[in-house]
Amino acid sequence: MKELWELFATFCKIGAFTFGGGYAMLPMIQKEIVDEKKWATEEEVIDYFAIGQCTPGVIAVNTATFIGYNRKGILGGVVATLGVITPSVIIIIIIAAFIRNFMHIQWVQHAFAGIRVAVTVLILNAIIKMWKTGVKNAAGMLLFGAALAAALVADVPTILILVIVILGGIGLQALYLGRRQGR
């Protein structure tokens, strides 16, 4: 029961103190789960991020669910998920009740502009950390470059990019292992 409460409290804190959606939460998830709680390694969290991105839903919620499930099974997944969404639900209800009354105020508009800048920095930080962990060799660089070009230049659908990169990763890993074994 204590660990379930700790899961809820940890993800509630993550949900309450990060603004800007799922990607902005990634650095805080990494800090709390890897550095503070030691519930997962950096590589495991990157894998959770990757799986969370590939499954339907918000990446931070999916990641919380995976971590909770890994710690305490189905109940842990539910508790971690509730923890990460509870602050957002409360904040959204409060903002929805009052936003029309304050949106025209200049300093509120400036505050939102500042939040957008901060969120961009948080997302860039998450990208850099994922880059350092995820792109480890020339094959990873090749897959990264191909995926980036497909997304930015060719406007290829995300699901198609994922399928091609997954198959490319499997193929390149098989080729690498085949060379190491002298085939």
Give tens-digit pLDDT for 153-170. Answer: 988 898 899 898 889 888
State whether 109 and 52 are in the same domain: yes
The reply to whether 94 and 47 lie within a common domain is yes
**For the chain, what is the domain count?**
2
- In the predicted model, what is the mean pLDDT of the chain? 86
Given a cut of 70, whether residue 21 has pLDDT beyond it is no
Q: Tell me what the mean pLDDT of segment 38-59 comes to.
A: 84
30 and 119, same domain (yes or no): yes
Q: Return d(Cα 158, Cα 160) in angstroms, integer.
A: 5
* Residue 75, pLDDT score: 96
Reply yes or no on whether the pLDDT at 44 is more than 80: yes
Shared domain check, 9 and 68: yes
**Crossing angle of the two packed helices 138-152 and 106-134, in degrees rounded to 10:** 140
Contact predicate 130/42, CB 8 Å: no
pLDDT confidence of residue 22: 67
What does the alpha-carbon distance between residue 66 and residue 48 come to, in Å, rounded to a whole number?
Answer: 7
Q: What is the span of the domain harbouring residue 64?
A: 2-134
> Tell me: the pLDDT tens digits for 125-154?
878 887 887 788 888 888 888 898 998 998
What is the average per-residue pLDDT within 98-105? 81
pLDDT at 20 over 70: no
Same domain for 98 and 173, yes or no, is no
Q: Is the dihedral of CA 57, 58, 61, 66 positive or negative?
A: positive
> In this structure, what token pair is assigned to residue 105?
């105020």
- Please count the other Cβ atoms lying within 10 Å of the Cβ belonging to residue 144: 14
In a shared domain, residues 154 and 111: no
pLDDT of the residue at 134: 79
Distances (CA, A) of 173 to 49, 62, 157: 21, 27, 24
Q: How does residue 71 score in pLDDT terms, banded at 50, 70 and 90?
A: very high
Per-residue pLDDT at 183 exceeds 60: no
pTM (global) more than 0.75: no
133 vs 55: CA distance, rounded Å: 21
Does the structure show a pLDDT above 80 at 73?
yes
pLDDT at residue 128, rounded to an integer = 85
Sign of torsion, CA 120 123 125 131? Answer: negative
